Amino acid sequence: MADLQFRLTDDLWHDMMTLEGASISAIVVWDQSMIDDALDEPLTPANRPFVDIDLYLTNQIKLELYGASIAIDEESDPIIGLDDIGETLAQHARHGAIIDEIASGPEEMLVLVLSNARQESLLVAVSAWMEDAWETLPEDAI
């Protein structure tokens, strides 16, 4: 899958099910997002609700996640602020993060449920995504 995806169709969901259980080797959080221009208010690192994230999986697959919001659970508000989002993902990754579940949110939005060895979960709701392969981990990865 090399094309940018915006909706989790049944076919894409079936293809992505193979990622359930995949361990995350590294995470890169970008300081800007593909959807920044679509937001009404000017963004600062402190009020950023969305980020772009690269997930490097141990099976050499890289998921490029665009316009992602991170929440602790379905009832929680998304985490706000680039530092808080990055720290939450880093803490989660330090404890062996995996893709626990591929789910669908409102308007067929991709939602990744990440979990770790401490039985903690994060919900990553994604506006768009692309799957690619990787050979070496970036130096700025978490």
Q: 84 — phi, psi (to 5°)?
A: -65, -40
Identify which of 119, 112, 141 has the alpha carbon closest to the alpha carbon of residue 19: 112
Residue whose structure tokens are 């995350």: 24
By three-state DSSP, how is residue 85 classified? helix
Kindly report the pTM of this predicted structure: 0.91
Q: How confident is the model at residue 106 (pLDDT cuts 50, 70, 90)?
A: confident
Tens digits of per-residue pLDDT, 25-65? Answer: 999 999 888 888 877 777 888 999 999 999 999 999 999 99
CA of 95: how far to CAs of 8, 31, 64, 81, 124, in Å?
28, 23, 21, 22, 17
